[in-house]
Structure 1
Amino acid sequence: MQTDFLVIGSGIAGLTYAIKVAEACPDKQVLIVTKSMADETNTKYAQGGIAVVNDLENDSFEKHIDDTLIAGDGLCNKEIVEVVVKEGALRVNEIIEWGARFDKEKDGDYALGKEGGHSEHRILHHKDVTGAEMERALLETVKNLPNVQFVNHFFIVDLITQHHFGYLVTKSTPDIQCFGVYALNLQTNRIEIIQSKITMLAAGGNGQVYRTTTNPSIASGDGVAMVYRAKGRIENMEFIQFHPTALYQAGQKGQAFLITEAVRGDGGILRNHKGEAFMERYDERKDLAPRDIVARAIDSEMKINGTEHVWLDCRHMDLEKFIHHFPNIYEKCKSLGIDVAQHMIPVAPAAHYSCGGIKTDEWGCTSIKYLYAAGECASTGLHGANRLASNSLLEAMVFAHRSNLDAVEKMKTFVAVQTELPEWNAKGTSVPKEMILITQSLKELQQVMSDYVGIVRNDIRLQRAMRRLDLLWEETEELYRNTTISPQIMELRNMITVGYLITKGAAFRKESRGLHFNTDYPEKNPLLQNIVL
């Protein structure tokens, strides 16, 4: 296959970018590739909403900028923060024009929520399924564009660079260029070449590296892993955000149901097993402190009391308003026998969001020529050491727009250098005899990352994690070389790479800052900035 613009991923970043380049270049072809269905993305599971300043009487850009910088704990790029906050309102207005519906008050004004770390009410939302509503609007818009094609059930194996033509490519190689990708057609089990002039990586997050996560099963860090293999720049991978309040279900692994931060924004109170409202002991902002602080506080309470969860108390809240704002949370709790008017909700932290990723500039350009990144797989400089709640959807739209502006200009002067791309070489491989080799390694990876590279870390834990990851990597690479490609081996390979990057970044960061807390270095080191791998 050949295309002008290749988009990997169909979440908010990928779809926004696809719509814009398709409209700007109606004579060019846009191909969107997903490894599952078009609507199975991290965007779909975003509950809380999107942070944007649209009430200038009670809010301001400066307040939103300050809130973001405070949450990021000194590692945000202030210029990028200003760009996202100030351009964000335009991008939100665009998606409203494309059909996204956000909740309104009786007087017609938008209903604005408040979440942890925000000084004002500025969260636009659609019930407790904001991401799904935005995904719906984007999919309906993109499907009406004649020059956009969807290809589902294609797993991207690797980016094609000069390396595949026999050249030695290292991180110091100038002008590494992306010519397209190798992709596994999951319906035919054949590796196919997709040749593209310009490629956008909007491949999502990596929550599945951990035992329990709010992310869907597709969130295996594929984008970060393939850029790292292509010798692209990755930064700040140690900053993994654990959402403080995932619904706790005994024995559950994999994807956990998210209890959005907006519940605490509306008055929900965290309590320990003694019934104490404990957040006041950790931060003056109590239940609406930034996520890193709340997650560590819950982790501390669980360890002190020897419990596997804490409680979220909503019994004092107006039930009718709760059901109106959080219908899916209400129904989920009800299905488990939890009446939120009478019972507290059991919650525990779960891996939620990667603040680091593929290093990009202010236009979404990566260190690899003709390759862009946006959304959770990218590290734009917005989040620093900790993402402010509901800034992710905003960032995705802003950088999808900026990447589009740069890509359209590059397309005008694009000159093809290489036309014949080498075929995929599967010589000497065979079908694996036992899938347990893959599934067991995945369980080991998730256990290592959860036990040693979780909310609280120390040097001994990180050293143990690195030794175990090295062994898993060796075993998996041998399996990869000798067996035919499958989505299971590719996801495992990608997740081990991401686990290694998270652990390596954590080992390099000799301080505690934002989402990275090392008990051996409890203080912040102002001289230690971004860690690029």
Structure 2
Amino acid sequence: MRYVFSGDLKIQKTSRYDVLIVGAGLAGLYTALHVSPDLKCAVLSKEGIDISNSWLAQGGIAAAVAKDDRPRFHYQDTLVAGAGLCDKKAVQVLVDEGPGDIHTLMSLHVPFDLDEEGDLQITREGGHNRNRVVHAGGDATGRETVKVLAALAGQRPNISFLEHTFFVDILTGGPGGPVTGALIFRDGAFELVSTRKIVICTGGIGQVYLHSTNPAVATGDGIAAAMRAGAKLRNMEFIQFHPTGLWSPHPEDRAFLISEAVRGEGGLLKNKDGTRFMVGVHELCELAPRDIVARAIVREMAKTGTDHVFLDITSKPEQALAARFPTIYNECLRRGINIARDYIPVFPVQHYLMGGIQTDLNGMTNISGLYACGEAAYTGVHGANRLASNSMLECLVFGRRAAMHIDKNIEREQSAPLPVLPQAAPRQAGNLDYKALRRKIQVTMNDYGYVIRTKAGLTEALAVVSGILEQLRQCCDNSKEYYEVYNVALVAQSILEAALARRESVGAHYRED
């Protein structure tokens, strides 16, 4: 189905921009700040800027900025974590250019944490063999970075924000492009945006799963719209499950994340009997790559008949923990857990998509005028498993490169023609319970597309999801709720199809059969 909307829509407004950036997380904001000031740019966000994966990012940003570190060491750690499936050219670009973007953030006054000498405080996370992760606000790196970049973008005369706006579909001049505009939904009305360049920075697909660290807005809208426009996807089967989501006896919209950095600071994983179980599983024990840790936890839960394990950081003083991990410390305390004295109950939850919309080293897709950056993009840097804290660095490096490519290749003297809204065959409004359908997809993905997979389970899940998608294709009521569940189903289907096609176990994709 080429477009998710149906019938003749009443367009309330048409606006023109040189560049439309979809997503106001780190990738979207950093890209916008690198777009030339003479180009009119709009940054669209589904909610406010404080509702994104970037805002929630705790761990930090990895880059070879320490005196004893080198890009080649970062390169090697990234390749090892990616299980041999990284694009080596993309990784080289990431590690070589990353330190420069850290210095750019410093020049923009992002408040990175400093040591007593006033130098960057650099820590270590899982999969890294050297300290190379910088952070801000202890465990609030994403929030502190996004706040600064959003404030700077707000001061730029060429940048406009379209908040609380739903991105419906990409409009093109024909198959393969070029991009002519977008259909958006804002304040209960449909609008057209005329533009020649669209950058998809919509983040992850967490709402495809029952338990995720992603916010409720992460329904894969940008990826789904790009798919409908004919963009190529890559490695959708590689879903990273964070080993340590905070377990709760009460269902929640978003699983609270216990950062990898807690294990980097000495946190130990233990079972219900208080016994460590990562010793002997991997030479790095608790700091092994995330896929290995997640599988070990799932197996330990099965072995002990429990639905969670524990993370023990009680070896550290309370004052030090409260200073280093203020977000985690306070959230756990709010739930009756003092992490200086109590074990933290944790379990693996969906966290990050390593695949996505396939791009080149400048963020370009196979659709003329369509770019993608950040988690929604497949640049090739993560391979089969993302190295901790490489995600924010990817947003910076490839967001900047996309903006630079747009600057050099856009025709400044020529305005984009007004897009024509295509005729979409009308479909009757369905009497479907969208909330129930979405829940069914999430439960199915958690049951069969989780940390450990089998052919039989994936086949059953694909049948369920494809059936729901077919139901949705028969109707449409042009509402945000309909569009979201359709996007969730479309993305889920692509994940399952890719997981079935890759028969070997590698990285985050583990086939038990």
TM-score exceeds 0.5: yes
The answer to whether 1:215 aligns with 2:214 is yes
Q: What is the rounded CA distance, in whole Å, between the counterparts of 2:489 and 2:305 in structure 1?
A: 30
The answer to whether 1:403 aligns with 2:396 is no
Q: What residue in structure 2 maps to residue 472 of structure 1?
A: 468
Q: What is the rounded CA distance, in whole Å, between the counterparts of 1:456 and 1:402 in structure 2?
A: 36
Deviation at 1:95? 1.4
Q: What is the rounded CA distance, in whole Å, between the counterparts of 1:420 and 1:333 in structure 2?
A: 50
Secondary structure of 1:255's counterpart equals: coil
Q: What residue in structure 2 maps to residue 52 of structure 1?
A: 63
- Indicate conservation of the 8 Å contact 2:178/2:196, yes or no: no
Q: Which amino acid aligns with 2:505?
A: S
Q: Which amino acid aligns with 1:180?
A: G
Q: What residue in structure 1 maps to residue 9 of structure 2?
A: none
Deviation at 1:420? 4.6
Q: What is the rounded CA distance, in whole Å, between the counterparts of 1:30 and 1:417 in structure 2?
A: 13
Q: What is the rounded CA distance, in whole Å, between the counterparts of 1:420 and 1:389 in structure 2?
A: 41
Q: Which amino acid aligns with 1:62?
A: R
Deviation at 1:133? 0.3
Equivalent residues in 2 for 1:283-302, closer than 5 Å: 283-302=282-301
Q: What residue in structure 2 maps to residue 501 of structure 1?
A: 494
Q: What is the rounded CA distance, in whole Å, between the counterparts of 1:371 and 1:445 in structure 2?
A: 29
Q: What residue in structure 1 maps to residue 185 of structure 2?
A: 184
Secondary structure of 1:343's counterpart equals: coil
Compute the RMSD of aligned alpha carbons. 1.5
Gap change, CA 1:410 and 1:330, over 3 Å in 2: same
Runs (4+) off by over 6 Å:
none
The answer to whether 1:9 aligns with 2:10 is no
Gap change, CA 1:108 and 1:192, over 3 Å in 2: same
Q: What is the rounded CA distance, in whole Å, between the counterparts of 1:393 and 1:36 in structure 2?
A: 20
Deviation at 1:487? 1.2
Q: What residue in structure 2 maps to residue 446 of structure 1?
A: 442
Deviation at 1:327? 0.9
- Indicate conservation of the 8 Å contact 1:207/1:220, yes or no: yes
- Indicate conservation of the 8 Å contact 1:95/1:137, yes or no: no
Q: Which amino acid aligns with 1:141?
A: L
- Indicate conservation of the 8 Å contact 1:193/1:423, yes or no: no
The partner residue of 2:109 within 99, 119, 131 is 99
Q: What is the rounded CA distance, in whole Å, between the counterparts of 1:320 and 1:424 in structure 2?
A: 62
- Indicate conservation of the 8 Å contact 1:197/1:414, yes or no: no
Q: What residue in structure 2 maps to residue 529 of structure 1?
A: none
Deviation at 1:34? 1.1
For structure 2, which runs of at least 5 residues remain unmatched after alignment?
A: 1-14
The answer to whether 1:131 aligns with 2:132 is no
Q: May I ask how many residue pairs the two structures share in their alignment?
A: 498
Q: What is the rounded CA distance, in whole Å, between the counterparts of 1:338 and 1:424 in structure 2?
A: 56
The partner residue of 1:88 within 98, 108, 115 is 98
The answer to whether 1:457 aligns with 2:474 is no
Q: What is the rounded CA distance, in whole Å, between the counterparts of 2:61 and 2:262 in structure 1?
A: 15
The answer to whether 1:68 aligns with 2:78 is yes
Gap change, CA 1:309 and 1:66, over 3 Å in 2: same
Equivalent residues in 2 for 1:376-455, closer than 5 Å: 376-412=375-411, 418-422=417-421, 429=428, 437-455=433-451
Q: Which amino acid aligns with 2:240?
A: Q
- Indicate conservation of the 8 Å contact 2:23/2:202, yes or no: yes
Q: What is the rounded CA distance, in whole Å, between the counterparts of 2:441 and 2:20 in structure 1?
A: 31
Q: What is the rounded CA distance, in whole Å, between the counterparts of 1:212 and 1:251 in structure 2?
A: 12
Q: Which amino acid aligns with 2:256?
A: F
Deviation at 1:79? 1.2
Gap change, CA 1:63 and 1:440, over 3 Å in 2: same
Deviation at 1:413? 6.5
TM-score by length of 2: 0.94
Deviation at 1:244? 0.4
Q: Which amino acid aligns with 1:80?
A: A
Q: What is the rounded CA distance, in whole Å, between the counterparts of 2:413 and 2:180 in structure 1?
A: 12
The partner residue of 2:512 within 505, 519, 530 is 519
Q: Cα deviations across residues 1-54 of structure 1 (Å, max 9, x unaligned)?
A: 111111111011111111111xx2x33211111111133211000001000111
The answer to whether 1:356 aligns with 2:355 is yes
- Indicate conservation of the 8 Å contact 1:68/1:388, yes or no: yes
Q: What residue in structure 1 maps to residue 3 of structure 2?
A: none
Gap change, CA 1:40 and 1:409, over 3 Å in 2: same
Equivalent residues in 2 for 1:362-377, closer than 5 Å: 362-377=361-376
Deviation at 1:419? 3.6
Deviation at 1:415? 5.5
Q: What is the rounded CA distance, in whole Å, between the counterparts of 2:213 and 2:266 in structure 1?
A: 22
Q: Cα deviations across residues 39-88 of structure 1 (Å, max 9, x unaligned)?
A: 321100000100011113x2111111000000000100111111101100
Deviation at 1:422? 2.4
Deviation at 1:424? 6.7
Greater mean deviation of Cα atoms: 225-234 or 379-388: 225-234
Q: Which amino acid aligns with 2:150?
A: L
Q: What is the rounded CA distance, in whole Å, between the counterparts of 1:31 and 1:231 in structure 2?
A: 23
- Indicate conservation of the 8 Å contact 1:211/1:253, yes or no: no
Q: What is the rounded CA distance, in whole Å, between the counterparts of 2:390 and 2:235 in structure 1?
A: 17
- Indicate conservation of the 8 Å contact 1:182/1:424, yes or no: no
Q: What is the rounded CA distance, in whole Å, between the counterparts of 2:145 and 2:58 in structure 1?
A: 11
- Indicate conservation of the 8 Å contact 1:15/1:139, yes or no: yes
Q: What is the rounded CA distance, in whole Å, between the counterparts of 1:361 and 1:147 in structure 2?
A: 27
Gap change, CA 1:273 and 1:96, over 3 Å in 2: same
- Identity between Structure 1 and Structure 2 (%): 38
Secondary structure of 2:404's counterpart equals: helix
Q: What is the rounded CA distance, in whole Å, between the counterparts of 2:154 and 2:194 in structure 1?
A: 22
Q: What residue in structure 1 maps to residue 271 of structure 2?
A: 272
